[in-house]
Amino acid sequence: MLFKQQALLRQKLFVLGSLAIGSLLYLVARVGSLDRLQPLCPIDSRFGLRGQDEIPLRALQFKRGLLHEFRKGNATKEQIRLHNLVQQLPKAIIIGVRKGGTRALLEMLNLHPAVVKASQEIHFFDNDENYAKGIEWYRKKMPFSYPHQITIEKSPAYFITEEVPERIYKMNSSIKLLIIVREPTTRAISDYTQVLEGKERKNKTYYKFEKLAIDPNTCEVNTKYKAVRTSIYTKHLERWLKYFPIEQFHIVDGDRLITEPLPELQLVEKFLNLPPRISQYNLYFNATRGFYCLRFNIVFNKCLAGSKGRIHPEVDTSVITKLRKFFHPFNQKFYQITGRTFNWP
């Protein structure tokens, strides 16, 4: 009886073992056939590519971590070649205006998966020493990107520097130019506030805004003061229009970008011929900071630096009134040239 039970047990084990071996051989054969069916490039498989120009935009959220590593210099030439990344000259530049919201605009546009931003202000076209280094030096300052993406840089000094329009024209006569503006008097006070803060950090004294903005000899607006001069938008724009048609400019409302950013960003998407990808999901109001922050995905959020949104010093109301009256005719001309009207006093 005992021998019969042992024989039966051995028979069952043999059958189970045969089934296990057979299943294992089938799986090996199946995996082997699947491997042969896989695309040669694992990157293609991950993105579902059929060709270089068919990368789905949403899949390019992958760029956030990957391109960051390349920007830090943590990539080999082989990795760059494998991922088909390049350093491209910008196809759009935020040329100004200083204290108009250029950093906020750049960071918000970077929410779009087809946009790659230059993190630092390059100051290529407004700096003679940098410009003398040549266009290849400039290109090497650009971030890595996929060929179909567009690179954007911002240097607010471009807008007011006399040589810049011609220099940019020589690089790319069809480039798209973004100008973000705020109410001119508010922008001038913001400009002053930033300089004042820098002086205070160095324990230096600085004149009051009123003394700088108003000529003490004539009691008129001091157009030699840079903060005032920068706010005469039409004077600077006219110099740019000698090289570029108005169609290559897009004017962004910097005041509205603070309070209601999405409509302004959608207008920029359209101007840059980008498919609409930035949504209200990407923008959330931070009550503590008092302005909108950015949501790239469920994990990664970003707010602008604490230096943004500085509290302005109190300015004599008569000086504010005088400045607004001074800027008014220039503002009217600016509206006429650009075709965009603002509710500036």
Domain ranges of the chain: 75-338
Single pTM value for the model: 0.78
Say which residues have a Cβ less than 8 Å from residue 242's Cβ, sequence separation at least 6. 165
DSSP SS3 for 131? helix
C-alpha dihedral over 134, 140, 142, 144, to 10 degrees?
A: 150
Q: Is 64 annotated as a binding residue?
A: no
Residue 333 confidence (pLDDT) above 60: yes
Per the residue annotation, which of 4, 12, 99, 226 is the catalytic one? 99
Q: Is 103 annotated as a binding residue?
A: yes
Give the tokens for residue 244: 């570029």
Q: Is 100 annotated as a binding residue?
A: yes
Q: Is 101 annotated as a binding residue?
A: yes
Work out the pLDDT band at 28, boundaries 50, 70, 90.
very low
Phi/psi of residue 250, each to 5°? -130, 130
Q: Is 182 annotated as a binding residue?
A: yes
User: Nearest-CA neighbor of 61 among 8, 116, 108?
Assistant: 116
Q: Is 190 annotated as a binding residue?
A: yes
Please confirm, yes or no, whether 133 is among the known catalytic residues: no
DSSP SS3 for 177? strand
The number of angstroms, rounded, from the C-alpha of 181 to the middle of its chain's C-alpha atoms is: 17
Report the largest interatomic distance among the alpha carbons of the chain, rounded to a whole angstrom: 125
Task: Tell me what the mean pLDDT of segment 105-117 comes to.
Answer: 96
- In whole angstroms, what is the distance from residue 246 CA to residue 238 CA? 10
The pLDDT score that the predictor gives to residue 126 is 98
Q: Is 242 annotated as a binding residue?
A: no
Q: Give strand ranges (E) for the chain.
A: 86-87, 92-96, 115-117, 144-145, 150-154, 176-181, 249-253, 283-286, 291-295, 301-302
Task: Tell me what the mean pLDDT of segment 90-113 comes to.
Answer: 97
Q: Is 325 annotated as a binding residue?
A: no
The pLDDT score that the predictor gives to residue 40 is 29
Half-sphere exposure of residue 12: CA atoms within 13 angstroms, side-chain side? 6
The pLDDT score that the predictor gives to residue 73 is 53
Work out the pLDDT band at 43, boundaries 50, 70, 90.
very low
Tens digit of each residue's pLDDT (9 = 90 or more) over 173-208: 999 999 999 999 999 999 999 999 999 889 888 999
- In whole angstroms, what is the distance from residue 191 CA to residue 99 CA? 6
- Name the fold adopted by 75-338: Rossmann fold (3.40.50)
Work out the pLDDT band at 79, boundaries 50, 70, 90.
low
Percentage with pLDDT > 90 across the chain: 66
